[in-house]
Structure 1
Amino acid sequence: MEAVLYVSHGSRVAAARLEAARFVEQCKAAVDIPIQELCFIELAEPDIITGVDRCVAQGATRIIVIPLLLLSAGHAKRDIPAALELAKQRHPAVEIVCGSPFGVHDAMIDIIIDRISECAPSLDGESMILLIGRGSSDPDTKRDITAIARRLQEKTHVPHVSVCFLAAIGPTLDEGLEQANASPCRRVFVVPYLLFTGVLMKTIERKLRGFPTSDKQWHLCPYLGYHPRLVTLIRQQVASLALAKKGA
C-alpha cells in the first residue's frame, strides 16, 4: 500500500506549523493515496522517522516523501536523506522514494507575481523587485534564486530585479535595501521568498520600518505562503513517483 509523507521545514512559531498542516490537508484532498502524513525536519513534531513509523503502522509498504521546501540546499541534500536512511534501517521491507523541493519552476514565478499583485500600485516601468531569500552556504541556493529573479524579470518586464539573503551569503538584507534605495526606480516591491511566517518575516518587517525614508515608494509583499499552485506541483510530483513504480 502506498503512502505520502509530507516533510515541512518546521518552526517554533505555532502559526507557521498551522499553515503547514492546513496546506497538507489541501494536498490530501487532491492526492488519491490512502495514507498521508505530515512531519517536520526540525523545531516541531513529529520528526521524519516518526512520520515514516506512522505510515508503516497504517500498512504502508511504499512511501513517497514530498519535501515542502522552496529550494534544494542542506535540508534537502543532507538532513532529509539522513533521516530516511535511518527510517529504512527500521523498516527494511518498506520502499521509500523521495521527491524534490519546488526549485526553479514557472509556477513559482507565477506565485511571486500573484503576491506582488496583492500590493498597490501595479508594477510598471518605474518599478523594481527586491527578492529576499532565506540564504544558505550551499552554492545552489544563490544560483537558483538568481535564476528565479531572471525569469521574474523576463515575465514582468520590470527594469530591474535584484536579490539579497537573510543569512549565510550575500548580498545581505541591509545591502539589498541600500542597493534598491540607490536605484533610479521610484517603486520598490520587496518580496520575501519564504514559504511560511515566522522570525525571518518579522526581521524583514522590522528592517523596513527602520529603514531611512526616501522619495521612493516601498511595498512589502506577502510571503509566498502555501499557495494553491503548490498543490498542483505536489499532485504532479506524487503522480510521477507513483508512475515510476508502475513502470519499474
Structure 2
Amino acid sequence: MQAVLYICHGSRVKEGRDQAVAFVEKCKSDIPYPIQETCFLELAEPTIQQGIELCIQKGATDIAIIPVLLLAATHAKKDIPKEVDIAQTKFPEVVFQIGRPLGVHEKLISVISDRVRNTGIMVKAESTALLVGRGSSDPDIKRDMEQIAEMIKLKLPFNKVSVCYLAAANPTFEEGLEHAKTTNSQVFVIPYLLFTGILMREMEEEIRKLNQIHQEFVLTDYLGYHADLREVLRERIIEAIGIKA
C-alpha cells in the first residue's frame, strides 16, 4: 500500500510548527492515498524515523518521502537520504521513493507576486527588492536563489532584485539591508521562507527599527498557505511515486 510521508523542517516556534502541519493537512486532500503522515527534520516530533514507522504500522509497503522544503541543500541531499537508508535497513521489504523539494518553480514566483501585492503598497518604477533566503553552504542554493531573483525581476516591475541570506552564506541579511539603504528608494524585503519562525520574527524586528530611521522598507509575508504552493507539492508527490525501485 502506498503512503506519503511529508517531512517539514521544524521550528522552535510553535506557531511555525503548527503552520507546517496545517498546510500539509490541506495538501492531503489533493492526494488520493489513504496513508499520509507528517514528520519533522529537527526541533519537533514525530521524527523521520517515527513517521516512517507510523506509515508501516498502518500497512504501507511503499513510502514516498516528500521534503516540504523550498530548495535542495544538505537536508534534502544528505540528511533525508541518510534517514531513509537507516529505515531501509530496518525495513528491507519496504520500497522508498524520495521526492524533490519544491525547488525553483514558476508557480512559487506567483506566490511571491501575491505576497508583494498583499502588502497593499504599489511597486514604483524605482522600487527595489531584497530576496532573503535561509542560507546554506551548498553552492546550489546561491545558484537557485539568483535564478529566483531573475524570475522575480521578469514578473514584477522592480528596478533591481538583490539576494541575501540569514545564515551560512553571503551577502548576509545585514549586508543586504546596508546595500539597500544606498538606493534611497522604496525597498520590498521578500522572505523566501515557507512559514513563520525565529528567523521571520528577527526580520520583522529589524525592519521595524529601520523604518523608524530610514527610507521605506516593506516586508512582505512569508510564502505560507497558497493554492500554487499546494499545487507544486502535489507535482512533487506525483513525480516521486512515479520513481519506483
Q: Which moved more, 1:80-89 or 1:117-126?
A: 117-126
Give structure 1 stretches of 5+ with no counterpart: none
Q: For residue 92 of structure 2, what is the aligned residue in structure 1? A: 92
Q: For residue 218 of structure 2, what is the aligned residue in structure 1? A: 219
Q: For residue 108 of structure 2, what is the aligned residue in structure 1? A: 108
Q: Distance in 2 between matches of 1:189 and 1:27?
A: 29
Q: For residue 149 of structure 2, what is the aligned residue in structure 1? A: 149
**Contact 1:65 1:96 (8 Å CA) reproduced:** yes
**Contact 2:187 2:216 (8 Å CA) reproduced:** yes
Deviation at 1:26, TM superposition (A): 0.8
Deviation at 1:235, TM superposition (A): 1.6
1:66-117 CA-partner distances (Å, limit 9, x unpaired): 1000111111111111111101111100000110111111011111111111
1:25-54 CA-partner distances (Å, limit 9, x unpaired): 111111001100000000000100111100
Report 1:65-80 matches (<5 A).
65-80=65-80
Mapped pair 1:32 → 2:32? yes
Report 1:1-248 matches (<5 A).
1-184=1-184, 186-211=185-210, 213-214=213-214, 216-245=215-244
Q: Distance in 2 between matches of 1:105 and 1:123?
A: 23
- TM-score of the pair, normalised by structure 1: 0.94
**Contact 1:20 1:226 (8 Å CA) reproduced:** no
Q: Secondary structure at the match of 1:30?
A: coil
Aligned CA-pair RMSD:
1.3
Give structure 2 stretches of 5+ with no counterpart: none
Deviation at 1:191, TM superposition (A): 0.7
- TM-score of the pair, normalised by structure 2: 0.96
With a CA cutoff of 8 Å and minimum separation of 6, indicate the structure with the bigger relative contact order: 2
Total equivalences in the alignment: 244
Deviation at 1:13, TM superposition (A): 1.1
Deviation at 1:203, TM superposition (A): 1.2
**Contact 2:97 2:241 (8 Å CA) reproduced:** no
Aligned AA (1:77): K
Deviation at 1:228, TM superposition (A): 2.1
Query: How high is the sequence identity, in percent, across the aligned residues?
Result: 47
**Contact 2:100 2:240 (8 Å CA) reproduced:** no
Aligned AA (2:18): L
Aligned AA (1:201): M
1:119-158 CA-partner distances (Å, limit 9, x unpaired): 1322131211111111111111111111100110011132
Deviation at 1:226, TM superposition (A): 3.5
Q: Distance in 2 between matches of 1:240 and 1:75?
A: 19
Q: Distance in 2 between matches of 1:102 and 1:242?
A: 15
Q: Distance in 1 between matches of 2:181 and 2:100?
A: 36
Q: Distance in 1 between matches of 2:209 and 2:235?
A: 42
Q: Distance in 1 between matches of 2:19 and 2:179?
A: 33
Q: Distance in 2 between matches of 1:120 and 1:26?
A: 27
